[in-house]
Structure 1
Amino acid sequence: MTTTEPTLAQEIYQEAKKAGAFALDAPVSGGDLGAKNATLTIMVGSDLATYEKALPLFEKMGKTITHQGVAGSGQHTKMANQICIAGTMTGMTELLAYAQKAGLDLDKVLNTVGGGSGATWSLANYGPRILREDYSAGFFVKHFIKDLGIALAEADKMNLELPATKGAKELYEQLADKGFENDGTQALIKLWWPEGHRPE
């Protein structure tokens, strides 16, 4: 259930099939809270029969479980998820940096934006953590960089440019270079707030 290159998932599926075994790729989303509460989103790539055999196990771990298609499709879906998260995380941290510089009450800003069209899972779950200066990892910076690298490599194979995702990866690499690779992805705010301390 790890996140890997879609091509690797396809190779594993084919080798398993040759050996008379079953294989599927089933990366997840939902972070530490999703794992603890068995509410993970599980993205599955395999043949339908194998998916149906594994479904009872997935139902013990996740809430949203979807057969995305053939082997590798689960990994491609996870890449799409990470591309989206890259945008929401950079947007959220820049929102907070901007609001703080403008002299706004950050708690009020989170509540207001979270109640409108800017609402996202990242804003609702990671925004409050940032304001508490909690940078523990629901998902590690170093793992996010790895995932974005896979996404960009796969996009390159499809002759697809993803400039926003590329920019997000570069920001996270800057964060890792500062020694924060083992923090959670919400630590991106540390590029604006030294050591993640909320400015007075």
Structure 2
Amino acid sequence: MKIGFIGLGNVGGKLAGSLLRNKFDLTVHDLNPALVATFVVRGAHAATSPLQMMQDCDAVITCLPSPAASAAVVEKMLPAITADKIWMEMSTTDESEVKRLAALVKAAGGAAMECPVSGGCHRADTGNISIFAGCDRATFERMLPTLTTLGRRVLHTGDIGTASILKVMTNYLATANLLTCCEALVTMKAAGLDMNTTYEAMKISSGTSFVHETESQLILNGSRDVSFTMDLVKKDIGLFQKIADQAGVPLEISPLLVEIFNDGIARFGERELSPNIIRRLEEATGLDIRAPGFPAELTDDEPEEQGYEVIPTGLTAPAGAAKPVPAE
């Protein structure tokens, strides 16, 4: 199967790298020709346009920074879509927009899948990230070998739109985790606690989280470089708030998160690294929240393994569902 990949940024470039590393027939495209060139020298093909990519490939993956960017690309690909073509959306996007674009693809005779990822750029780089896949079961099973190369744990979430909703939810939870970690670290520093000891206390306790064990390290190092910026956080938590508003859920914490990041963007700029939201508290207290021994960037030390489909607790595995491959 020939796979196309459009969008070679912080996440997309790492996901595409997993396909190339695992010997997929890969064609790439990006507005930055330098990024494309790095893939071509490693064996990928280059497409001159989204239309050409859809003409040449069986499935085309998009991993782009906004719903508008995805829409522009998909609309260019539509004339080349036929019954054997698949569009796979790996961006974090709006449920209604991915449904609209999927309907256009299906009207042209093709198939569509949304498959956003969760778990951080360092895990995208090793194929150990998690993937949510929203589509019909037949399309899911057709593309499962590709998905289990791109990621370790693959969850079929239901129809188109369900994966985008769940992805936005996870980013909302990660944002809430980030802000509480920031408050905890600054408060412990103000109370005179050692930051290395504080980090370990949080890590080994009921207060730990994925965000703490990753982003807190970058905060304490001072680099704060998680390859994610405040404007992207604002987009994601705004999408979550939109879902709640449409469902009539009177959230209390979510609007506060939006307010905090609006303030962070006003102070530091929309392209500021998201963990630097802690600067609001550092400036308010005059404290320096850094400690020795923490890394400037995250790396995934888990070995790359073949991925597998995750079956939700209490549900029966569909016939033919992939099973986890045990580590040797």
Deviation at 1:180, TM superposition (A): 4.0
Task: Give SS of 1:88's match.
Answer: helix
Deviation at 1:70, TM superposition (A): 0.5
Pair 33,144 (structure 1): closer, same or farther in 2 beyond 3 Å: same
TM-score where L is the length of structure 2: 0.58
Deviation string 1:135-192 (CA, Å, 9 cap, x unpaired) is 2233221101001111111110110122212211211111111124323321111111
- Judging by fraction of residues, say which structure has more strand: 2
Deviation string 1:38-68 (CA, Å, 9 cap, x unpaired) is 2111111111111111211111221121110
Moved over 3 A (4+): 194-197
Deviation string 1:17-44 (CA, Å, 9 cap, x unpaired) is 2211011111111222122122111111
Which residue of 136, 141, 159 maps to 2:248? Answer: 159
Give distance in 2, aligned partners of 1:35 and 1:68: 20
Q: Which runs of 5+ in 2 are unaligned?
A: 1-89, 292-328
Letter in 2 for 1:175: G
Greater RCO, CA 8 A, separation 6+? 1
Letter in 2 for 1:77: L
Aligned to 2:289: 198
Tell me if the contact between 1:38 and 1:61 (Cα under 8 Å) persists in the aligned partners: yes
Aligned to 1:170: 259
Deviation string 1:102-121 (CA, Å, 9 cap, x unpaired) is 01011101101110101101
Q: Which runs of 5+ in 1 are unaligned?
A: none
Bigger Rg, which one:
2
Q: CA RMSD in A?
A: 1.8
Task: Give SS of 1:192's match.
Answer: helix
Tell me if the contact between 1:41 and 1:63 (Cα under 8 Å) persists in the aligned partners: yes
Task: Give SS of 1:24's match.
Answer: strand
Aligned to 2:138: 49
Aligned to 1:75: 164
Task: Give SS of 1:60's match.
Answer: helix
Tell me if the contact between 2:186 and 2:289 (Cα under 8 Å) persists in the aligned partners: no
Query: How many residues get paired?
Result: 200
Pair 13,35 (structure 1): closer, same or farther in 2 beyond 3 Å: same
Q: More deviation in 119-128 or 81-90?
A: 81-90
